[in-house]
Chain A
Amino acid sequence: MTQRLIDQIISELQKNKFVAKAESDNRGYVEVNRDQITDVATTLKNLGFDHVKSVTGIDFPDQHKIQIIYHISSYENLELAKIIFAIRTYVTYEDPKIKSLTGIWDSAWTGERETYEMLGVVFDGHPDLKRLFLPEDFEGVYPLRKDFKIKLEGLFVDKS
C-alpha cells in the first residue's frame, strides 16, 4: 500500500519534533510555539508549499490568547496542491507579537496586515504594517476581538 502524501509530510515534520496531525486525505495541521514558526515555515517551504492562502486570527478571551492560523498550499506541484495545510500557533494578550512570514512567503502580506489591524497582533518584520481596511478615524478595541460588540439598532413596536 502506498503511503498517502499527507502522511509523508506529517512524518517529515515529526522527524523535526513538531506536533503534526492529518485530519483527512488533504487537510492537516501542525501546532507550534510562536518562536518556532519560522523554522516550521522553512521546513514546509522546502517540502514544496509555495504560497499562503490565508492568515486567520481567532480570539479566545477566556484564555487571554489569540490563535494564529496560516493556511498554506502549493501551485506548482499538482499533487501537493490538493492539500491545504495549517500552521497553528498562539500569542497571548500581554505580548501579542509574532515573527512575520512575509520573508518566506510574500503572499502572507495582505493576511498579516489584516490580522494586525483587526486583532492587534504585531508581526515582527512585516514591511508595511499599518491599517488597510478600517476607516482612518476608527477608535476603540480591535474589531475582531470578542469584546468588540456590534451596536444593534433595536426595532421597537409600541403596543399601547
Chain B
Amino acid sequence: MEVDVVPIEGGELNVGPQHPGSGHMRILVKLNGDIVESCDLDVGYVHRAVEKLGENRNYMHLIPLVERPAILDSIHMNMGYVMAVEKIINVDVPERALYLRSFAAEINRIASHLYGLGILGIFIGHSTAFMWGFGDREVWVQILEALTGARVTNSYIIPGGVRRDLTPTIIEMTQKAITYTRKKIEDWRKIFVKNPTIIDRLQNVGVMNKEQAISWGAVGPNLRASGVYYDVRKVEPYAAYSRLDFDIPVYKEGDGYARTLVRFEEMEQSMRILEQIIKDIPAGPILSERFLRQIPPIRMKKWVQGQGRIVLPGYYASFRPPRGEAVTRVEAGRGELLYYVVSDGSPKPYRLRMITPSYRLINVFKNLCKGARYADVVSIYGSLDYFPPEADR
C-alpha cells in the first residue's frame, strides 16, 4: 500500500519518561508524517550503579545487589554472578545443587516471559493479556516463594551450591502449576496469539533479518526469532543443562509476532525441563563439601539435615579470593547475560562488569525504530521485551 507522507516542519516528539508507551525511557523521535526518521534514546532513569557499588562491597554483599536490576529474573542474575565467583575461588558444585539451580532458573524464565507478554499486551491495548500475564505468573512466583523464601529477589544461589532444598510440597505445587499453565497457554493462544488485531499489530512490524540481528548484537528470544540458533544453554551448558533434553525454538520471520511465538514455545520447553528435573533429580548434598564442613555440628543437625536449609558458614563473611578474572554467561529470560569479574586479591572485586540482555537491546531498538510508523514504536518496544532497570543497571 502506498502511503502519502505529509512532510511536517520540526516534527519532534518527546515520549516519556513515565509515559505508558515508553516505560522508564525517554524516546525522542523525529517524525516525517508518521514515519519515524530517527530516534534518540535517553535510557538512564532508573540507574542503580551496580558496577560502581560492586567495587565497594564484599563478594557476598553483592549477591542481593546484582539481582536488583531485573527483579523478575533474579535467579539468572544471581546465578551468573555466583558462577563467576565460583570460577575465581575454584569450587565445584554438587550434582543436586546444579539440578536445583536449573529448576529455579526455569521457573523464573516462565515467570519472566509471562510478565513480558503481559506488558506487550497492555502496550498494544489488550488488557486481558496484561491481567492474565500477571495472574498466571503468580503461580510460579509462589513456587519460588516456597522454595527460596522470597517472592522476587530470591538470593537463592550461593557460591558452592544453593540455600534450600526441594520439599515434596514444592514438587506437588510445580506439577499443579505445569498442568494449569499448559491449559492456560491454550487459552492464551485463542485470545491473544490468534487474535486478528494482535496479528495486525505485530506481523511485519519491526522486522529484523538474520544479518541485522547478528550485526546489532541482539540477544535471547529476539535473536532466535530472527533465525539464529544460539542459546547459551546449548552452546556452553551450565547448571544441569547438559543432562537435560530440550529444544530451542527458532523462527525465520524476525518480526514482532515471531518474537512472541518464541516466548510461548520457550515456556513449553521450560515446563518440559521442569518435569525432567522432578523425575531425575539425584540425591546428595546441596552445598559443596568444602563449605559444608565448616558448619557447626548442632546447626548441621537441626538446619541442614533437618530442614534442608543452609546456615551460611563463616567463610562467606569476607573471603579474599586469589587474583584472577572470570567471564561467565547464562541464558537469562531475556537473553544472554555476561559477567566479567576481576579480582585483585582483596575482599572486594576490582571491577565488576555486568552486560544484561536489555542493555544490548538498546542498539537494536534504536535501529528498529528507524523507518517504522509512529504507532508501531510501542509494539516494537513491547515485542523486544525490554526491561528498563535491566538496561541501565
Contacts and interface: CB of A to CB of B under 8 A. Distances in A.
B69 to A, nearest CB: 12
Contacts of B351: 56, 58
A14 to B, nearest CB: 22
B362 to A, nearest CB: 5
A19 to B, nearest CB: 17
Contacts of B228: 75-76
A47 interface: no
Contacts of B44: 132-135
A90 to B, nearest CB: 14
A51 interface: yes
A143 B350 contact: no
A118 B359 CA distance: 15
A97 to B, nearest CB: 21
B53 interface: yes
A75 B220 CA distance: 11
A110 B359 contact: yes
A26 interface: yes
- Chain A binding surface SS class: mixed
Interface string B210-232: 00011111000001000011100
Contacts of B342: 58
Interface size band for A: 20 to 34
B189 interface: no
Given A71-B338, A133-B43, A143-B52, A50 B215 contact: yes
Nearest to B327: A84
A118 B338 CA distance: 19
Contact of B236 (A26, A58, A86, A118): A26
A58 B120 CA distance: 37
Contacts of B145: none
B95 interface: no
Nearest to A83: B236
B235 A110 contact: no
Interface string B36-69: 0000011110010101110110000000000000
Interface string A44-83: 0000001111101010000000000101000110100110
Interface in A96-119: 105-107, 109-111, 118
14 contacts: A50-B214, A51-B215, A75-B230, A81-B235, A82-B235, A84-B329, A105-B217, A106-B215, A107-B217, A110-B363, A132-B43, A143-B49, A150-B52, A150-B56
Interface of B: 41-44, 47, 49, 51-53, 55-56, 213-217, 223, 228-230, 235-236, 327, 329, 336, 338, 340, 342, 350-351, 353, 355, 359-360, 362-363, 392
Given A56-B353, A132-B362, 11 more contacts: A53-B338, A53-B360, A69-B340, A75-B230, A76-B214, A84-B327, A106-B216, A107-B217, A107-B360, A133-B43, A144-B52
